[in-house]
Chains A and B, each alone.
Chain A
Amino acid sequence: MGPFGRRDFLKVAAGLVGVGFGAACAPAGAPVSAPGAGPRRLDVLRLDYAYYNPVSLVMRRKGWLEEEFARDGIKVEWVLSLGSNKANEFTASGTVHFGSTAGSAALLARANGVPLKTVWLYSQPEWTALVTLKDSPIRQVADLRGRRVAATRGTDPWFFLLRALDSAGLSQRDVEIVQLQHPDGEQALLQGQVDAWAGLDPYMAHAELVAGARLFFRRPGWNTYGTLNVLESFLNQYPDIVERVLTVYERGRAWARQNPEELITILAEESKVSPEVARKVLTERTAFPEPVPGDQLKTVLREIVPLIQKEQLVPAGVDLKAAIEALVESGPARQVLSRSASR
């Protein structure tokens, strides 16, 4: 044996294991990495913004949140979400405190153990449909059998696709679902690399207006609202901050309803689409109704419960009805609205 003998090695190994456990035992009771935990004071407030959440674009552009939190010395940071799946990852990992998803995506995350709370509805959109090229032979959902369809797993368009397949007596095994993030899905469709695409606005409107893509299957009622979610721990720890953010969201909603033209300009500039595309999205397919999440959201979510079970998207034994009840949190939004009404 060399100068560093076996016995020495054993000692080092034992030492390492010991140190590992020592370190593990040290911060007992003080959670370090639990998202949203930590000191009572919040230094940085992190939100996502998304092209599918127009009000977030307005708030970011206008700097209202920065204004609101400047007096507390709380910095505001914005992170771009390219889809509900990304927003959920950000929220679960603590990258953002407020994430914008579809209701279906929030439910999936909740059912899979992420303690999400939907505290606001930022829009009621018809943001998804099944899209194909102008001269494609695909006319109806049944024509998709054996075809290649682009979709982003864990998002509303994906749920929409599964539900459409189900309604035509097909399942996800009968088609090849190619995993592509929404903008990449549009590209793949336009380049003919996939036969169809479960689209998302504004990309979907872009494909329609620019390449004449055809929405061959639409069901406005199958879209599951735009939901703003926080972690339970964040809501419990900072209820005041949640309400202040929602107050600004309410300001954004009111502004969006009063300034449709400027809203079109903002969406077009931010998401790099033409004003015509933005106009189509905002005037034909987006509404900003009553934002308190409640029965309206629960109803659309209950409709997808059988689908989630049939496609085994959550572990067996998860109570989806209970997950819906646990997800939808109307308290803070109700507070905010009653306060703004009394003002």
Chain B
Amino acid sequence: MAVGDLKAGGFQKARPARPRKFIRLGLGAALPWLLPAGLLGLWVLSLDRGWVQPYQLPAPPTVVSTFIDLLSRGELIRHLGATLNRLLAGYLLGAAPGVLLGLLAGSSVGFRRFLDPTVQGLRAVPSLAWVPLFLLWFGIGEQARVYLIGLGAFLPVYLNTMAAVGSVDRKLIEVARAYGFGRLKVLFRVILPGSTPGVLTGLRSGLSLAWMFVVAAELIAASNGLGFMLVEGQSTMRPDRVLVSLFTFAVLGRGSDTLLAALERRLLVWRDTLATTQEERP
């Protein structure tokens, strides 16, 4: 059987061979691609053998040609633009107050006691449960969608920011005070830098939630956007378009996260942690 062959032949034989490091390097580079390649193989195979029907799961070339077609007709760009627009608007609308209120709640006990119980209460509501209410309040339109995304982004940003401020070393603040720093100077020189890692974590998870909410928002009563493409493909029996939309979501989601991760690395070069040292010596 294939499993046995691979185990007995493929890898064990490689062990005593000379250019071990080379093989290791090659395998290392191939490793992340094994699973996608396997899945792709399974995809082609299951269509070939008739386990799934092409109207349920279209063949990879069909999806690619649909992608090219959508791209050349400008349809994909139009939907992409709509999605990115509302994602960005909603994200800013949620993340900015998230950071601000998180900083305030983290640094002032009074403010925390005032705000935090309410936010914690709101957090207990499963986020998608807001959808009907938002539709009733703001109607079917851009407003409801952007607010929904904003709400999704706000919570993790706020919570992480507050926790990050709370975890700033008190001794550092005392030292700063001893040096005669005022409140504002402490905030900008100690608390803000000290809480940046946590804030960035919050911003990243806020972004991933914003992606989730953008889909939810576009599944309901939309007329454009990548999420709308999902529903449209579903309603008109075009699984190829559903898949194109899905892949686009995957690429964008990953891309935006990578962007934030790069920003995080840039802002946190001063940190001497396991993560940063590991990244330098892979």
Contacts and interface: CB of A to CB of B under 8 A. Distances in A.
Interface stretch (B53-61, B88-96, B274-282): B53-61
A92 B235 contact: no
A179 B7 contact: no
Contacts of B69: 315-316
A25 B41 CA distance: 12
B1 A22 contact: yes
B100 to A, nearest CB: 33
A210 interface: no
Given A14-B11, A114-B237, 18 more contacts: A6-B24, A13-B34, A17-B6, A17-B35, A18-B6, A34-B50, A34-B52, A85-B234, A85-B235, A89-B237, A92-B237, A93-B56, A114-B55, A148-B140, A150-B221, A193-B139, A193-B140, A194-B140
Contact of B45 (A19, A24, A35, A85): A24
Nearest to A91: B237
A179 B228 contact: yes
Given A19-B3, A179-B228, A180-B221, A154 B38 contact: no
B66 interface: yes
What band does the interface of chain A fall in when counting residues whose beta carbon is under 8 Å from B? 35 or more
A179 B49 contact: no
B231 interface: yes
Chain B interface, >50% SS class: helix
A88 interface: yes
Chain A interface, >50% SS class: mixed
A31 B45 CA distance: 12
Contact of B66 (A13, A28, A315): A315
Interface of B: 1-3, 6-7, 10-11, 24, 27, 31, 34-35, 38, 41-42, 45-46, 49-56, 58, 66, 69, 73, 139-141, 221-223, 228, 231-232, 234-238, 240
A33 B235 contact: no
Contacts of A194: 140
Contacts of B27: 10
A10 B53 contact: no
A179 B236 contact: no
A278 interface: no
Interface stretch (A45-53, A105-113, A267-275, A297-305): A105-113
Given A35-B53, A112-B55, A188-B221, A21 B38 contact: yes
A153 B235 contact: yes
Interface string A73-112: 0000000000001001100110000000000000011001
A160 to B, nearest CB: 15
A60 to B, nearest CB: 25
B120 to A, nearest CB: 33
23 contacts: A7-B11, A10-B11, A10-B31, A14-B6, A32-B51, A34-B52, A35-B53, A92-B55, A92-B237, A112-B236, A112-B238, A113-B237, A153-B231, A153-B232, A153-B235, A154-B236, A178-B140, A178-B222, A179-B232, A188-B140, A188-B221, A194-B140, A313-B236
Interface of A: 6-7, 10-11, 13-15, 17-22, 24-25, 27-29, 31-35, 85, 88-89, 92-93, 108-109, 112-115, 148, 150, 152-155, 176-180, 184, 188, 191, 193-194, 312-313, 315-316
